[in-house]
A and B are shown apart, each in its own frame.
Chain A
Amino acid sequence: MFQDIRYGARTLLKSPGFTIVAVLSLALGIGANTAIFSLVNAVLLRPLPVADASSLMAVSTTDQRNPGNLPVSHLNFKDLRAQNSAFSGMAAFTFAQVNYSTGKESEQIPVQVVTANYFSLLGTQPAQGRGFLPEEEETATPVAVVSAGFWERSLGSDPNIVGKTLTLNRTPFTVVGIAPRNFSGTLLGGGPSLWVPISMHPVVQPGFDWYDTRRGLFLFAIGRLKPGVTAEQARSNLRTTFGNLEQAFPVDNKGRSATAVPLLDARLNPNGQGPNVVVTLSSILMIVVAIVLLIACANIANLLLARASKRRREVAIRIALGANRTRLIRQLLTESVLLSLAGGGAGLLLAYWCLSALVAAKLPLPFPIDDSLSLDPRVLAFTAVLAIATGLLFGLAPAIQASKADVVPVLKNELVASAGGGRGIMAYFALRQILVVAQVAASLVALVAAGLFLRDLRYAQQIDPGFETNGVLVMNFNLGREGYTPERGQVFFDQITERAAALPGVKGAAIAENPPLAGGFLRSVFPEGADTTTKDRVLVQVNTVGVGYFQTIGIPITRGRDFTRGDVKTSPKVVVINQTMAQQFWKKDEPLGKRFKFFGDQDYTTVIGVAKDSKYNGVAEDPQPFIYQPLAQNYTPAAALHIRGAGNASALAAPVRREVQQLDPTLSLFNVRTLEEQVSQSLQPQEINVVLLTVFGVLALLLASIGLYGVASYSVSQRTREIGVRMALGAQPSSVLGLVLGHGLGLVGVGLAIGLVLAYVTAGFAKALVVGVNPHDPMTYIVTSAALGTIALLASYIPARRATRIDPLIALRTD
């Protein structure tokens, strides 16, 4: 084996051109796979750092009217924890953003609000200090466990941090522990900066008043199975326990139950409605980069076949000297694997560089990647296995082919590389043609995927969001974190709106709980006369907006009126609904003056206006019902200030900040951006998908073109004598050109036909991700096929041109 390795290395070094091209091709293919696998590894594959993960179950609510697995309400969680007999313990958590202040500056950081047994139930021992004590769940105790990432990044890795305090929402929290380095919670993607006990929710979630209800579904519950209890037994037990809760609280729990799935499954399929979008996207990217690698492999195999036909004498000598076929194949595969390992090493460097660039770019991916993205042992093992498998893959066919050398004619120099070639040479050539057809087919699949995502992005970019994006600046703040009472908060809203609107160049200003495309809170709505228990309930998203909101962001009121300063807390409750809700609830009836109740409300709310439909969660969403309720009647401490200017909206940031600071010097403003940026940001994940898929698609196209070029060139060199004869007999250059081009295009045609079928069949896989375009969109298939065909034509044209310049006299002397 050592001799094989030594000889293989020497052979590769003696052909630097071949080796460099092959290693670069492999580096691109393996590097792309390593980079994407690193992402998948960071997001999906890292083992959950908890004790006995297989016995942990994600406990969810089910609802007859809402499909999927839903979070659990706080009161139901407490009862389930107390009454079930399947779990040795249950913990729960939810999310919040808090204002972390160092005194000099402040930032918004993500936290998880958890039950006191969260760490102990998971079996996760803090790296320093402790988790939470049982009494810290019952009595509000300002303590926190910080993540290792936050401790390093924001706390300077202070070794004495345990016992010190952090100011969160103006409240000092004592650090009681540091989480282990690899622990970032139980969900996919990034974890919080710190954890606080659930008893502190009034501080970290000011204004969030769903803790004392059974309707608000916001807690993610986890249970650890008792020894010997199966998942099915746990589900049965939960159904029985929740049945009791439904009987005890029929209004709140009617039509609901509880279920549990293994926590490891829930991470990949969190709501039971199909794979997480990250899983689907990761799968598509892995498939596309695998295609790129396969095309690179086909290229190397093609090169090796060309080399093998030149090395037939060497192989024949070895056979004559007694080398058996297995030994020969081993020798040739050793060279292939050496080549692929070199490619793997270069690919690893390429992946490292790409990942470093990705982290540095701080792209708005649907998951954070900074701490977790690294070339860890799993990634290195993946690359090593991939490299060896790649070497075997692209080396096997040429090695087998080479080992079949016609020994006697080769040794006697009787095998002439002429028009007819030899049996062996023709076999090489047939295999090379098959590889090119496969490359063309595979690259078309990759290009169609990129084309579909590109068309989907174009579609999303051209959608009218239903509001005017030009000239609007948005900035968020949270008065609850600053200790504002509702009364003081309303005064602040009025003051800042007036001050901002009075600034030079400002056309209008308004407050809203959620800016456009940030969605709204889902609430159950019962139209007047409907069953107010559950039967006629419809879930509708709600946003709370101030006076002037519609005018500021450019949503027209199509019927009725806008909110006015007369719509106050003491006046009858009113709302503005959108066109879809008017149509859905009251069909052709006049919606103005119609009344409904939100779940739990005693009073009716009256529709006073209808606003034009717009987009609420994402630009590609279907029309959906939406309710705007006035801020004066529904105080919310977390809000966004919207300012419409006459010109460049970004220029308004500084004067508006000054106005805010004059009103409250300590109020923290965050997420300051224009509405155009807000829309653009909502499309950024799609743009990243398109960029990645396009890069890989173009890479596949280039590699396939190189393969085609190689085969066409080889064909010309093999047919030199034939072409010389043809030209000696009077063939025109154009007919020679047609001969070579026809051969190349024939291969491309077959590849395109196979690729179209493959792309058509596999496109359904991307259906969930390309909502704006039919996965079988004919235009995408036509354009990508034409692009591939054109590049392929060029790849064949260069050798074809060379063929027309063959000198018949020289060609006829060619042996």
Chain B
Amino acid sequence: MNTSAQPLIHLDGVTKVFFTDEVETHALAGIHLEIKSGEYIAIAGPSGCGKSTLLSILGLLDSPTEGRYILNGKEVASLALSERARVRNREIGFIFQSFNLIGDLNVYENVELPLTYRGMKSTERKERVMAALEKVGMAHRAKHLPSQLSGGQQQRVAVARAVAGSPSILLADEPTGNLDSKNGEAVMELLRELHREGATICMVTHDPRYARHADRSIHLFDGRVLEEDGSKRAEKELEESGFDIAH
């Protein structure tokens, strides 16, 4: 796996303030972050530290109060709603903690949905959907409804939906939060596999076991980056250079 020098994502002084009637809540305060293409990073921190807010901004589901957000070389912080939807559809794949599959659509249709919004032809959609389902090992369940699947299977379908459109980055928000350890490990393995194949992944997690799988971990506290831990990447680079690293 190679990471390019050009950052896929560049956050510069991003802040997010929620205004309510009487209180201003600073969810993010001056975040600077770069994610290179092909990187696998984990965002960690305690509840309420701003992890999900950061992920929402990265996923263009929310916009920063201040600061710049450059995705694939394009400023996206202040895009119009329709343009944000278009960028989100093409550049970003979401994996949620609670799967968020649409109960009325079967597995195939759930995976097909983002491709439909892209206006893709049905033959191409079919190819991509089946390829994504094969990748996560769910092709045999294409006609099933989400309610007929286990939690782990549902999350695999959600992963297939996220990767079907070949997005620039996968954003995973506590992807194992609703799964038992066995299924959780299986999903993490799936993400590792995708990463090995070149996917850029940004995962929110509070579980240190899973954070260790990432090249880099970002620790948030009270909306600020407390520390960046790049040891995993350094270990990997050393391993790839032929050194034996003892754990």
Other A-B pairs, 12, CB within 8 Å; known A320-B88, A327-B117 = A7-B104, A318-B102, A318-B113, A320-B59, A320-B100, A322-B88, A408-B53, A408-B61, A411-B98, A411-B100, A412-B96, A412-B173
Q: Which residues of the other chain, A, contact B94 by a CB distance below 8 angstroms? A: 320-321
Do most interface residues of chain A lie in helix, strand or loop, or is the interface mixed? helix
Q: Which of B52, B85, B116, B161 contacts A319 (CB 8 A)?
A: B85
A753 at the interface (CB under 8 A from B): no
Instruction: Name 15 interchain pairs, CB-CB below 8 A, sorted by A.
Output: A14-B104, A319-B85, A321-B89, A321-B117, A322-B86, A323-B117, A324-B81, A324-B82, A324-B86, A324-B117, A408-B52, A408-B62, A411-B100, A412-B96, A413-B98
Q: Among residues 98 to 130 in chain B, which have CB atoms less than 8 Å away from a CB atom of chain A? A: 98, 100-105, 113-114, 116-118
Q: Which residues of B contact A413 (CB under 8 A)?
A: 98
Contact with B61, one of A11, A320, A327 (Cβ below 8 angstroms): A320
Bound complex: CA of A323 vs CA of B94, how far in Å? 13
Nearest CB on B from A798, distance (A)? 30
Summed over the interface, the residue pairs from A and B with CB atoms below 8 Å come to a total of: 71
Considering the complex, which residues of chain A in the window 265-305 have a beta carbon less than 8 Å from any beta carbon of chain B?
none
Whether A217 is near chain B, meaning CB under 8 Å from some CB there, is: no
Interface size class of A (residues with CB under 8 A): 20 to 34
Closest to A408 in B: B56
B104 touches A324 (CB 8 A): no
Which partner residue on chain A sits nearest B94 by CB separation? A320
Q: Which residues of B contact A571 (CB under 8 A)?
A: none
Q: B139 to chain A: closest CB distance in Å?
A: 20
Cα distance A215–B102 when bound, in Å?
82
Contact indicator A322/B81 (Cβ below 8 Å)? no
Q: How far is the CA of A411 from the CA of B90 in the complex (A)?
A: 20
User: In the complex, which of the residues B53, B61, B86, B161 contacts A407, with contact meaning CB atoms closer than 8 Å?
Assistant: B61
Asked whether B65 is an interface residue with its Cβ less than 8 Å from the other chain, the reply is no
| A321 in contact with B173 given A7-B104, A408-B52, A408-B62 (CB within 8 Å) | no
Nearest CB of A to B199, in Å: 17
- Report how many residues on chain B are interfacial, defined by Cβ distance under 8 Å: 31
CB atoms of A326 and B82 under 8 A apart: yes
Q: What residues of chain A lie closer than 8 Å to B113, measured between beta carbons?
A: 318, 321
Task: Verify if B97 is at the interface (C-beta below 8 Å from A).
Answer: yes
Contact of B85 among A3, A313, A317, A322 (CB under 8 A): A322
| Contact A317–B104 (Cβ < 8 Å) | no
Query: Residue of B at shortest CB range from A318?
Result: B113
> Does A314 sit within 8 A of B, measured CB to CB?
yes
Q: How far is the CA of A7 from the CA of B109 in the complex (A)?
A: 10
B residues with CB within 8 A of A:
52-53, 56, 59, 61-62, 81-82, 85-86, 88-90, 92, 94, 96-98, 100-105, 113-114, 116-118, 161, 173
Answer whether residue A535 sits at the interface, using C-beta atoms and an 8 A cutoff.
no
For the complex, give the distance between the alpha carbons of A76 and B59 in Å: 87
Nearest chain A residue, comparing its CB with the CB of B82? A324
Between B53, B86, B101, B117, the greatest number of chain A beta carbons within 10 A of the residue's beta carbon is seen for B117
The answer to whether B116 touches A3, judged by C-beta atoms less than 8 angstroms apart, is: yes
CA distance A318 to B114 in the complex (A): 8
A10 at the interface (CB under 8 A from B): yes
Least Cβ–Cβ distance between A517 and chain B, in angstroms: 65
**Shortest 6 CB-CB contacts between residues of A and residues of B:** A322-B89, A324-B85, A321-B114, A324-B82, A322-B88, A322-B117
Give Cα A322–Cα B164 distance, bound, in whole angstroms: 13
Q: Which residues of A lie under 8 Å from residue B59 when comparing CB positions?
A: 320
Q: Which residues of chain A (749-783) have a CB below 8 Å from chain B?
A: none
**Chain A residues near B85 (CB, 8 Å)?**
319, 322-325, 327
Taking CB atoms, residues of chain A closer than 8 Å to B114 are 321-322
Q: Would you list which residues of chain A between 151 and 176 have a CB under 8 Å from chain B?
A: none
On whether A317 and B82 interact (CB within 8 A), knowing A7-B105, A323-B117, the answer reads: no
- Interface membership of chain A positions 303-341, coded 1 if the CB is closer than 8 angstroms to chain B and 0 otherwise: 000000000011011111111111100000000000000
Which of B82, B88, B96, B98 touches A325 (beta carbons < 8 Å)?
B82
CA distance A660 to B89 in the complex (A): 92
Do A411 and B104 have beta carbons less than 8 Å apart? Answer: no
Closest to B55 in A: A408
Most buried by B among A314, A323, A324, A407: A324
The CA-CA distance from A710 to B105 in the complex, in Å, is: 28
In chain A, residues 177-232, which have Cβ atoms closer than 8 Å to a Cβ of chain B? none
Chain A residues, CB < 8 A from B173 = 412
Distance to closest chain A CB from B105 (angstroms):
7
Residue of A nearest to B99 (CB): A317
For B88, the chain A residues whose CB sits under 8 A away are: 320-322
* A319 to B116 alpha-carbon distance, docked (Å): 13
- Cα distance, A325 to B84, chains bound together (Å): 11
What's the minimum C-beta distance from A406 to chain B, rounded to whole angstroms? 10
Give the residues in chain A near B118, CB-CB below 8 Å. 322
Please give the distance in Å from B224's CB to the nearest CB on chain A: 20
Contact status B97-A412, CB under 8 Å: yes
Instruction: Looking at the assembled complex, report how far the CB atom of B176 sits from the nearest CB atom of chain A, in whole angstroms.
Output: 15
Q: How far is the CB of B89 from chain A (nearest CB, A)?
A: 2
Interface residues of A in 1-40 (CB under 8 A from B): 3, 7, 10-11, 14
Chain B nearest CB: distance from A760 CB in Å? 40
Q: Bound state CA distance, A557 and B92, in angstroms?
A: 99
Compute how far the CA of A412 lies from the CA of B116 in the bound complex, rounded to whole angstroms: 24
- Which residue of the partner chain A has the closest CB to B81? A325
| Chain B min CB distance to A12 (Å) | 11
Give the nearest-CB partner of A327 in chain B.
B117
Assess the B86–A411 pair: CB atoms within 8 A.
no
| Minimum C-beta distance from A794 to chain B (A) | 36
**Contact (Cβ within 8 A) A314 B96:** no
A9 to chain B, nearest CB (A): 11
Could you tell me the distance between the alpha carbons of A352 and B118 in the complex, rounded to whole angstroms? 45
